[in-house]
């Protein structure tokens, strides 16, 4: 069947990928066994150039990290990478420290550019009762006088140490003032408690305690304005005349239409 590549969504005020595709077919498209897979990116990577893919990254970041699906803040776990590992054909689990150029590294660079432009921000503390608040004095944008140095520090200690993908056995547990892991923690006595650093508010000064559970990302008001007024209309007009034909097994048969460059 033929499907529109993108359609304008009045509620989200932006273009949504494959809005009319059947979910049962969606699950069949490329690497469906990967829970963090992003079929939109994978399908797109067979069509467009590298520069187009970088623009697609920018669009996706501001859309996903914006106030979509009723949430203003998004945890920086594996899903923050939007399945870019599948474009690079990296294994899962994967490491970002690969010896060759990857789309993941390009994607992280775009995150940095958006942060430096003031379009997104990262946080380590939030008020759970106010899900819309994103501007805190503890945000990364206020961490250092030099915003670029703040980004490099965060990038190297969060993405390139794989802190975003920490699991149960990576958690650093505090018990009686000392650090333990799930494997080294002594048996607790009745009434004793432990402190999970992975699931608690983090300090930028303690990157060892960072994880995908206590670091979040959000689109700023400046980023929302840029997305709504410039990027989203530009992106929609570029791809609005494009369709893709997909068979009942999830394979791309052909692209129909044109990209309006």
Rounded Cα distance, 37 and 96, in Å? 16
88 and 99 in contact (C-beta within 8 Å)? no
Q: What DSSP line would sit under 138-168, residue for residue? A: TSGGGTSSSHHHHHHHHIIIIITTTGGG--G
In a domain, residue 195? The reply is no
233 versus 95: the higher-pLDDT residue is 233
The listed range with the strongest mean pLDDT (48-52, 95-99, 130-134, 183-187) is 183-187
Give the pLDDT of residue 34: 43
In a domain, residue 171? The reply is no
Classify the phi-psi angles of 176: left when phi > 0, otherwise alpha if psi is within -120 to 50, otherwise beta. Answer: left
pLDDT band at 53 (very low <50, low <70, confident <90, very high): confident
Q: Which two tokens stand for residue 177?
A: 């003032």
Report the percent of the chain where pLDDT is more than 70: 77
| Phi, psi at 169, each rounded to 5° | -80, -5
The listed range with the strongest mean pLDDT (14-23, 90-99, 229-238) is 229-238
Domain hosting residue 40, numbered range: 2-166+207-257
In a domain, residue 129? The reply is yes
In a domain, residue 176? The reply is no
Give the pLDDT of residue 86: 59
Give the pLDDT of residue 209: 93
- Alpha carbon distances (Å) from 161 to 48, 59, 140, 209, 257: 31, 26, 18, 12, 42
Tally of domains in the chain: 1
Average pLDDT over residues 228-253: 87
pLDDT band at 212 (very low <50, low <70, confident <90, very high): confident
Q: What is the mean pLDDT of the chain?
A: 81
- Crossing angle (nearest 10°) for helices 50-64 and 103-116: 50
Is residue 80 predicted with pLDDT exceeding 90? Answer: no
Is residue 35 predicted with pLDDT exceeding 50? Answer: no
- Nearest CA to 212 among 93, 104, 82, 75? 75
Average pLDDT over residues 154-163: 91
Give me the residue label for tokens 């501007």: 135
- Alpha carbon distances (Å) from 185 to 111, 118, 156, 165, 197: 37, 42, 29, 22, 14
**Lowest mean pLDDT across 16-30, 34-48, 181-195:** 34-48
Chain centre to alpha carbon of residue 183? 30
127 versus 62: the higher-pLDDT residue is 62
Is residue 38 predicted with pLDDT exceeding 70? Answer: no
Average pLDDT over residues 26-37: 50
pLDDT band at 32 (very low <50, low <70, confident <90, very high): very low
Give the pLDDT of residue 36: 41
39 and 26 in contact (C-beta within 8 Å)? yes
Cα separation of the two ends of the chain? 26
43 versus 37: the higher-pLDDT residue is 43
pLDDT tens-digit map of 226-236: 999 999 999 99
Give the pLDDT of residue 152: 97
Is residue 112 predicted with pLDDT exceeding 70? Answer: yes
**Lowest mean pLDDT across 18-27, 139-148, 193-202, 208-217:** 18-27
**Lowest mean pLDDT across 11-15, 70-74, 165-169:** 70-74
């Amino acid at each position: 069947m033929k499907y529109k590549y993108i359609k304008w969504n009045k509620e989200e005020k932006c273009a949504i990928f494959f809005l009319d595709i059947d979910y049962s077919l969606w699950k069949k498209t490329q690497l469906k066994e990967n829970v963090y897979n992003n079929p939109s990116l994978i399908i797109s990577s067979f069509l467009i150039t590298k520069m187009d893919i970088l623009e697609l990254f920018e669009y996706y970041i501001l859309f996903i990290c914006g106030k979509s699906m009723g949430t203003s803040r998004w945890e920086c776990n594996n899903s923050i990478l939007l399945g870019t590992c599948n474009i690079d054909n990296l294994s899962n689990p994967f490491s970002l420290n690969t010896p060759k150029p990857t789309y993941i590294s390009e994607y992280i660079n775009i995150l940095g550019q958006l942060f430096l432009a003031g379009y997104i921000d990262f946080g380590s503390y939030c008020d759970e009762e106010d899900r819309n608040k994103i501007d805190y004095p503890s945000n990364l944008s206020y961490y250092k006088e030099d915003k670029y140095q703040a980004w490099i520090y965060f990038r190297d200690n969060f993405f390139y140490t794989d802190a975003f993908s920490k699991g149960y056995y990576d958690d650093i547990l505090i018990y009686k003032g000392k650090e333990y892991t799930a494997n080294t923690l002594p048996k607790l006595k009745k009434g004793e408690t432990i402190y999970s650093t992975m699931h608690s508010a983090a300090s930028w000064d303690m990157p060892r305690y960072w994880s995908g559970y206590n670091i979040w990302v959000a689109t700023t008001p400046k980023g929302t304005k840029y997305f709504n007024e410039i990027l989203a209309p530009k992106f929609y007009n570029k791809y609005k005349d494009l369709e893709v034909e997909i068979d009942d097994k999830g394979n791309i048969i052909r692209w129909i239409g044109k990209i309006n460059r």
